[in-house]
Structure 1
């Protein structure tokens, strides 16, 4: 405990830049789970940023520079801000893809157990409503597409279970129970 407090104290004494550097270099080293589809989506976004958005913002900066005085040039400032966002997103995507652990759900042999990439049909035992979710990485999660993060409370409750099991999920409204109807690796 003392070592942890000393560690935090020493980092608080250093500059914010050093703090950010520490987190970027130490937390990014772990593998990032992605489905094949999720990795393809990130690659497509990266390609679009590099081939379309980056050249567009460079042209916008050049156009804004041609208007003269940069100190009061709102177009120039907006284009530079946009460029910073694009370059940051490119760096983020390149890092995620370089540390990605790409998992193809079709190649999973989990003997009917729920694992990352599995598609699960559930029955809410309180409301008798059926729902279907695929368990994906944090970057792929989109509830509108019925893709839930592997780190979400419901996914954590489902991991390791199989058809016929009942999973208890701690929700803000209390404990919810879901019966697992089917588990697929598609």
Structure 2
């Protein structure tokens, strides 16, 4: 397995498929249907804000991250309006806005880690986390941060095994039904060393 930064245009649909499979449940209410949501997410992916795990030409997993320019999925008003039209774009961006993560100075904030179903439990997620820690070190960051929803205890267990600890938590309040989860935890791991 190789992990590199960025994906090619030929890989965009596969990366979009993996991202939608992992996060479509919480993003789907921003769009009129699942097909539209998957297409919009795929179009909005920013290639150089992803780490990609591959076996040859097969994309096994992806890890999005934030830069000073924004997140792994870029929801600009102009692009969203051009793809969906004005009323649908207003609705989509209003639903998506509360899910946006903010930058943390000196911290690499992850923006979605997902692994193909057939590769789960085979070390792909751990390898992507190691690559994220290496990227953070190369950028001069002091830590890597991510959020995990309360309905995904398997992912949280992986992060804890990899040395991440809880640094905060929050909830979706009255929007829980819209997003499909009530609580989330924010976890961090300092850069340097291996657990």
Which of the five TM-score ranges fits, normalised by the shorter chain?
under 0.3
State the TM-score, normalizing by the size of structure 2. 0.25
Larger radius of gyration: 1
